Amino acid sequence: MKIISFEGIEGVGKSTQLRLLKDYLESKHFLVEVYREPGSTNTGEKIRDILLNSANELSNEAELLLMFASRAELIKHKIKKSKSDYLLLDRFYDASLAYQGYGRKLSIPLIESLITFTDCPVPNYSILLDIPVEEGFARKTNDDIDRIESSSKSFFERVRKGYLKIAKENTDRFIKINASLDIDKVHQKIINHIES
Ligand code: TMP
């Protein structure tokens, strides 16, 4: 089984690229499962509602722990049990390093210990779709703004920089792609990397 995670700030087109890759892999007769974080289990989806509902006031610490509570459920009930050829993850633990670590300025070693504690498998590939913060948000103007999206621009600048740092530190699995390119070009780049 191969795990491919998709990462990036809001508006980079993760979900579109994930769907295109799923279609591509299925056209090659691979068995593919897709999960999103936070969410994708019964409990995880409830936790997602708590995390994203703008009516909820959450401390940064609670936000971090809820992300990992959802992740623990996903790992135990879905990832560890999977018999598929590919698991495509719409975000995984790198998102906690980028958003809660670099963005909210919580302790990176603490987050790393939660990654170990919840027994997170290391993805075979992590695709970082990178785009300037303004461009990402400009693409999202029709959506409702959720609790995390209503964070400041400087927060998202830190998240973007954090992702770039994580990608640089993990070149064995990270593929950084300019998400300002056409949807088809980004898809082709993803396929080229995975096939090589
Ligand atoms: P989504 O909109 O891409 O589904 O992600 C939900 C939001 O949750 C998005 O703003 C990123 C955020 N998030 C974190 O802050 N930390 C995490 O560990 C994960 C998985 C997501």
Mean pLDDT across the chain: 96
Name the residue of 9, 14, 19, 37 to mutate for ligand 1: max ligand atoms within 8 A of Cβ: 37
Residue pair 58/104 in contact (Cβ under 8 Å)? The answer is no
* 152 alpha carbon – ligand 1 mean position (Å): 15
- Whose CA is closest to atom 18 on ligand 1? 96
Residue pair 163/8 in contact (Cβ under 8 Å)? The answer is yes
70: left (phi over 0), alpha (psi -120 to 50) or beta: alpha
Give the DSSP letter of residue 10. Answer: T
Residue reference for tokens 């999960």: 35
CA dihedral (171, 169, 179, 34) positive or negative: positive
Region 118-123: mean pLDDT is 98
Cα within 13 Å of Cα(59), Cβ side: 4
- Residue 196's pLDDT band, with cuts at 50, 70 and 90, is confident
Tell me the whole-structure pTM to 2 decimals.
0.97
- Whose CA is closest to atom 20 on ligand 1? 37
Q: Is the CB of 5 under 6 A from ligand 1?
A: no
For residue 187, what are its two tokens?
Answer: 């898809």
* 187 alpha carbon – ligand 1 mean position (Å): 22
Cα dihedral 47, 144, 5, 171, rounded to 10, equals: -120
pLDDT of residue 141: 66
Residue pair 136/9 in contact (Cβ under 8 Å)? The answer is yes
pLDDT of residue 139: 87
Which of 116-130, 140-154, 168-182 has the lowest average pLDDT? Answer: 140-154
Beta strand spans in 52-196 (E): 86-90, 125-130, 174-178
Residue 191 has pLDDT above 70, yes or no: yes
Residue pair 94/4 in contact (Cβ under 8 Å)? The answer is no
Region 5-20: mean pLDDT is 96
Residue 15 has pLDDT above 90, yes or no: yes
Question: For the stretch 170-193, what's the b/e string if a residue is b when 16 or more beta carbons lie within 10 angstroms of its beta carbon?
Answer: eeebbbbbebbeeeeebbebbeee
- Residue 140's pLDDT band, with cuts at 50, 70 and 90, is confident
Residue 128 has pLDDT above 70, yes or no: yes
* 195 alpha carbon – ligand 1 mean position (Å): 28
pLDDT of residue 142: 64
Region 161-170: mean pLDDT is 98
